[in-house]
Chain A
Amino acid sequence: MSSENQERATVSASLDRSSAKHGEEHHGNREFVRFVPLERALHATMVVSFITLAGTGMSLKFSYTPWARVLSRFLGGFQTAGYIHRFAATIMFCVFFTHLVSLVKLKNREYKSWADMILGPNSMLPTLKDGREFVQTMKWFLGKGPRPQYSRWTYWEKFDYFAVFWGIFIIGSTGLTLWFPVLFTRILPGWFINLATIIHSDEALLATGFIFTVHFFNTHLRPEKFPMDVVVFTGQMPLAELKRDKPMEYEELKSKGELHLHMAEPHPEVVVKMIRAFAWVALSLGFSIVIGIIYAMIFAYR
């Protein structure tokens, strides 16, 4: 049993204790634990930070639209919007570095080496298996084959994961350039600020558009999960869903007899409700921004 699993077991045990306090109110089925609290917290923080960045940033990018002006005024004027944007960016950097640190800790705790972690079955890196699964998925989409036996991380989840890395690097670096133009132009030419503006803005458009449409659909709004998959916030999912979604992971855990280490009592209903409310707000804001972008780019472009 890996130490990751041990940690999960500990987590589930603590969850057991906490739910035990609520006595007999919660008789729901025990659930599979997919994300640890830190991962959940990071995702939730990133959601807040990302939506904030998108909202404040788009109000500047599409400053020629009425909604941008209203939003800017709502946020307390452009200057305040700018402060908010940079504050949220700092949060995003924090999330990113916290995650990097957690990766190091994870490696130290559970793997012998980086290679062990990266080449292991739960690696986030794309593998040959992902390539095979992509082909199989296409066949499945076209009705020419069964659904692939996905394991813990599917290729589209890995894509989303690295999209964040890419985004942090591209948007973050150009963002810092725009934040400290005088400092950066000690080395870089003045026109680099113009270039950084374009890259920052268009990459942000890509990230925003992608997250609020494709990512929303792929992970939160898929019909079989409708109305919403909140596993990333609750950290838990019904076992049936695991078996259906990630059959290989299920089978593996089952064959190793480790499945029970990953089980926990479900959250109290009020917690789930609050999480759902939060998710709905995030989703609505995301969609609103997408609508705003579409309006700005198609109807108000000039």
Chain B
Amino acid sequence: MSTKHGGKTVSLFVDGKKFAPSVHGAVGCTGCHADLEGKDFPHGTPAKVKCGSCHSQEQDLYAKSLHGKAAARGDQLAPRCVNCHGNHDIVPVKDKRSAVAPLRIPFVCGTCHQEGTAVMKTRNIDQHDILTNYTESIHGEAVLKKGLTVAATCASCHTAHSILPHTDPNSSIARRNIAATCTKCHGQIEAVHRKIIRGELWEKESNVLPACIDCHQPHKVRSVFYDKGMANADCMRCHANPTLKAKDGRSMLVSEVEVAGSRHAKVACSQCHSEVNVSHNRPCETITKKVDCSKCHEAVGEDYGRSIHGQLTAKNDPVAPGCRDCHGTHGILGKTDPKSTTFPTNIPGLCSKCHLEGKKAALRYTGTQHNIIGNYTESIHGKGLLESGLTVTATCTGCHTAHRILPAKDPASTVNPKNVPATCGKCHNGIEDQFNKSVHSPSVSGTDKELPVCSTCHTAHTISRTDETGFELGVMTTCGKCHGEIAKSYFETYHGKVSRLGYTKAAKCFDCHGSHDIAKISDPRSHLSRDNVVATCRKCHSNATRRFAGYLTHATHHDPKKYPILFYAFWGMTGLLVGTFVVGGVHTLLWLPRAFQMRRELKEAEAKEEAALQAEAEREASNGSSEKDKE
């Protein structure tokens, strides 16, 4: 008895001898082929058997699995129950005749998953020679050669029904589940690996640690005894040697003392130097890549990748700093350790390795900031940090961030003008809020003109105390950079003139307008609004009245429209001045020739005349006194 199915002749014979002792022997034919119940012979082609009507749990797992989804898509290559389990002759898994008995599983799976099959040719599976490798592996050898039914087969790791790709987080072979999968059998594996790792971390932090398969590759698990382990001691056999040199002459000495004192004291060599292969005499010879810190420091690595340093590294720029250039290598210390290169007080020195004037980064830099390190050292932040030892002071990384450093023109940079207020506001609590409500905030002014941010007035690297004379006087020219006319007229007033002479007590821009909370004068919050102006004047002029506040703080006598009285008073005074000088000057000039003439004549006559007069006066005196006597 046979039928044609898909162009092939398929036998429809059911061996009763096999069916009767099978697990379904008691169920009978219509137990599975329910659609044939009560049909007359010869019945038509029966519908596909639904195993799931009894095996619902397995059916569910299958449906979610790689195979089940492929089958649901109508993939012709997708295996169904029958492909693995058979049909009428299904026996318990423990029966060695079972198609899915441990010893036979490799072959069941191998039907599809071996080289040359349609599955391997047309589907994207990044493992090769799976069956061959497995057969030669310690698991395969145990199962196939030694008949150890407890040894791992395909289903032990991949599960029977819930087969999922390793990229699926629920997969038994997903990176974070691998440790759990392997330890189903290798229960005491932590003890074996304790020199490398605290075993429980494999399950807790499997995302950051090497997984079993990183060392023991899947399907290829060797049957060698790993006597040459990857414990630190194994590395130190060579790396304790001070004369050990790399090909390029670098010393390959690793100081165990240094490592022991470092932040990574409890981290094994192989955790950072991954890619080691224990089956080699020198496990490290399989290393191809430099240490990737982001395996553990994932978020930091992400930031670094986006930073200008990371971008340059990605372009293989030889100047770009990597993790080790700032943090060091085996002796790495936490940033709270004063000896650490990244301890706040050490940061300016650290950055200056490249950013000092004349050094590699400074040479390449084309922006406006120069002598950055020198200026910073002299700045309020630099002095706070280096002289006062205030470790909370802004260091390079305080503003630029440690790992996400970007040039100021990048909109994502913390020092991009748009972000500067927020950056400064991290420490200067409250100021940012004030600033954001001020007229200089884009949201308030609503202008598309360039607006000042913190650094416009305070500068970036030369920032000084705001109560320093230099800053107080300098800020007037700073305001004048944008408010040119009004600053100029300020300098024509008393306040401006005495300020220019270095007198810091006279009102300067910020004394009246405020500093971070500058608002338009028409704004009721302004220090110069009608309600506030008298109080503002009273800061210096204690008895000031509203009338006093009518003083024109930006008066100029050059504007006849705005200040006619001052304009005409000035020109009136100037007219008087010029008139007086013209009259006085002309008078003097006309006089000069006569005066010289007189001088000449008198010089000649002087002596003679004086003598004569003297005699005359004496005569008069004698007459006078004689007259007096008569009186």
Contacts and interface: CB of A to CB of B under 8 A. Distances in A.
Interface of A: 29-30, 59-61, 63-64, 68-69, 72-73, 77-79, 81-82, 138, 140-142, 147, 156, 178, 181-182, 185-186, 188-191, 193-195, 197-199, 202-203, 205-206, 209-210, 213-214, 217-218, 222-224, 226, 238-240, 243-244, 254, 257, 259-260, 263
Contact of A190 (B547, B585, B595, B609): B547
B63 interface: no
A209 B577 contact: yes
B580 A224 contact: no
Interface string B580-611: 11001101101111111011001000100110
A256 to B, nearest CB: 10
Contacts of B623: 257
28 contacts: A63-B498, A63-B501, A64-B500, A77-B501, A141-B590, A156-B587, A178-B494, A182-B542, A185-B548, A185-B550, A186-B545, A186-B547, A191-B552, A193-B551, A194-B552, A202-B574, A202-B577, A213-B581, A213-B588, A214-B581, A214-B587, A224-B596, A240-B606, A240-B613, A244-B598, A244-B602, A257-B624, A263-B617
Contacts of B72: none
Interface stretch (B12-20, B153-161, B319-327, B563-571): B563-571
A224 B602 contact: yes
Nearest to A202: B573
Contacts of B313: none
Contact of B581 (A30, A197, A210): A210
A82 B588 CA distance: 34
A199 B595 contact: no
Contacts of A81: 501
B544 interface: yes
Given A138-B590, A182-B541, A209-B577, A29 B610 contact: yes
B569 to A, nearest CB: 5
Given A147-B594, A182-B545, A213-B585, 8 more contacts: A63-B497, A190-B552, A205-B577, A222-B595, A223-B596, A224-B596, A240-B610, A257-B623
Contacts of A239: 610, 613-614, 617
A226 B596 CA distance: 10
A182 B548 contact: yes
Interface string B489-509: 001011001101111010000
B550 A224 contact: no
Nearest to B617: A239
A226 B511 CA distance: 54
Nearest to A190: B550
Q: Binding site of B, secondary structure by majority: helix, strand, loop or mixed?
A: helix
Contact of A73 (B502, B576, B593, B595): B502
Listed residue (A61, A147, A259) with the most chain B CB atoms within 10 angstroms of its CB: A259
A142 B613 CA distance: 30
B598 A224 contact: yes
Contacts of B557: 198
Contact of B584 (A78, A214, A243, A263): A214
Interface residues of B, number: 60
Q: Binding site of A, secondary structure by majority: helix, strand, loop or mixed?
A: helix
A190 B596 contact: no
B620 interface: yes
A223 B598 contact: yes
Contact of B591 (A141, A193, A240, A260): A141
Nearest to A200: B573
B550 A60 contact: no
B595 A182 contact: no
A57 B610 CA distance: 45
A190 B549 contact: yes
Contacts of A61: 497
Nearest to A250: B613
Contacts of B584: 210, 213-214
Interface string B525-547: 00000000000000001111101
Interface in B610-631: 610, 613-614, 617, 620-621, 623-625, 627
Given A141-B590, A194-B552, A206-B577, A59 B617 contact: no
A230 to B, nearest CB: 17
Contacts, number: 164
Contact of B570 (A202, A238, A243, A260): A202
Given A194-B566, A240-B613, A214 B493 contact: no
B581 A69 contact: no
Contacts of A260: 617, 620-621, 624-625
Contact of A140 (B505, B544, B592, B594): B594
B555 interface: yes
B566 A195 contact: yes
Contacts of B548: 181-182, 185, 190
Contacts of B500: 63-64, 69
A64 B588 CA distance: 32
Contact of B573 (A186, A203, A209, A259): A203
Interface string B420-446: 000000000000000000000000000
Contacts of B598: 147, 223-224, 244
B631 to A, nearest CB: 11
Contacts of A63: 497-498, 500-501
B595 to A, nearest CB: 4
Contacts of A259: 617, 620
Contact of A79 (B503, B551, B566, B621): B503
A292 B551 CA distance: 30
A301 to B, nearest CB: 12
A22 to B, nearest CB: 20
A191 B565 contact: yes
Contacts of B577: 202, 205-206, 209
Nearest to A243: B613
A138 B594 CA distance: 11
B620 A257 contact: yes
Closest 3 CB pairs of A and B: A190-B550, A202-B573, A214-B584
Contacts of A189: 547, 550
Contact of B551 (A64, A190, A205): A190
Contact of B502 (A77, A82, A213, A217): A77
A178 B112 CA distance: 104
Contacts of B595: 222-224
A72 B497 contact: no
A243 B616 CA distance: 13
B547 A60 contact: no
Contacts of A218: 588, 591
Contacts of A223: 592, 595-596, 598-599
A184 B565 CA distance: 18
A194 B563 CA distance: 10
Given A64-B500, A79-B503, A190-B552, A198 B494 contact: no
B564 to A, nearest CB: 11
Contacts of A222: 591, 595
Listed residue (B547, B570, B585) with the most chain A CB atoms within 10 angstroms of its CB: B547
A223 B566 CA distance: 41
A226 B614 CA distance: 22
Contacts of B498: 60, 63, 78, 82
B620 A182 contact: no
Contact of B501 (A60, A194, A213): A60
